[in-house]
Amino acid sequence: MIIAVIADSHDNEANIHLALHYLASLPVDAMIHCGDICTPETLKLLAREFPKPIHVVYGNVDYDRAGLDKMLSRYPDLHGYGDSGALELGGINVAFNHFPKEAKQLAATGKYGFVFYGHTHKPWEEKIGTTTLLNPGTLSGMWYKATFALVDLKTGKATLKLVEQLIK
């Protein structure tokens, strides 16, 4: 099972479209968004253009939670978890939230194969015990180059994708 992991999209429609166009050409089974979606319209865009399960948590700039919750209720493939989520994908337990401190705490429990987070906008991967802790960077391209990750849950391999390289 291959999943796309994104974070900190900050309503950057151009980069979201580029990433979604690229993902449409791959056998990606699901998406996890680690927060800072920003507006309900961005969530609607994701739901319309990625017709597979999307699992989302909120970040610190997701101010219109009522609007985001309303959008979550309109699309059956959108699944909201509030501030922190956990589920089983491809037989692997994964957890995700927005903040690095909480993500490290989740990873330290040893309950998950992967823990994903955002907030810093900086791509990062490390092992904490048997758990892979991963930040896919920022899809918006704010402060760092625009990136997202593809994770093959069967092999345990994560690949960082630079959005600027998708258009070459």
pLDDT tier, 167 (very low <50, low <70, confident <90, very high otherwise): confident
Quote the number of domains for the chain: 1
Structure tokens belonging to residue 31: 């998406």
127: domain CATH number is: 3.60.21.10
- The model's pTM is 0.96
Q: Is 127 a residue whose pLDDT tops 90?
A: yes
> 26-53 pLDDT, tens per residue?
999 999 999 999 999 999 999 999 999 9
Domain of 44, in residue numbers: 2-166
